[in-house]
Amino acid sequence: MEEITRMPLLGEKFPRVEVQTTMGKMVLPDDYRGKWFVLFSHPADFTPVCTTEFVAFAKRNDEFLKLGVELIGLSVDQIFSHIKWIEWIEENLGVKIPFPVIADSAEGVSKALGMIHPGKSSSNTVRAVFVVDPNGVLRLMIYYPQEIGRSIDEILRVVKALQVSDTYGVATPENWPNNDLIGANVILPPATDIQTANERKGQKDCFDWWFCHRPLT
């Protein structure tokens, strides 16, 4: 793994790291070049909240794949623990885990990406989510405390929103596509000159020159 002196910031390249996973060794972000991927950490195998999350991620895996997004799990448990836990989930809950799970160390990727909670044991990661685009750029980070399970719907939503923003050059409102104010519409970039600002005043889908929206298609 390359030496990392601080956490990467949004808009920066995801650090190049070699990892051991339940599906063999991988190099991130190289092995996902040209694809989006979501790297998510969990505190520990064989824990109730993490188990509910893995089941939910697995059941929604096809929805991520339809968006061109690969899922990757991670914790500081050993690879043997990951394999046994995945077997337990399939045997007892009837859910097959279709994505790789990284076996990390407390001094590895987890520490470099700020996933070791300073107020908790150094042997557990927080619930972090990293969304990386096809160019290997870190686009979104979300951190949850160990006690709070994530919403997979929200992770799907933000990935869709990022892809829409990139494709159409627009922004998305709160809770898009179910915003109380403008529904599934998207927000146009603000006017950057006086002529455009004047042209937008009074338009149907503009609250003001700096706040215009339109249907996505």
Which uninterrupted H or E stretch holds 92?
helix 79-93
Q: Which of 50, 89, 161, 182 is catalytic?
A: 50
What lies within 8 Å, CB to CB, of 13 at 6+ separation is 29, 136, 137, 138
The verdict on whether omega for the bond into residue 173 sits within 30 degrees of 0, i.e. cis, is: no
Classified as helix, coil or strand, 101 is strand
Q: Tell me the residue ranges of DSSP E strands in the chain.
A: 17-21, 24-28, 36-41, 69-75, 101-103, 127-132, 138-144, 186-187, 206-208, 211-214
Q: Is 212 a catalytic residue?
A: no
> Which residues are designated catalytic?
50
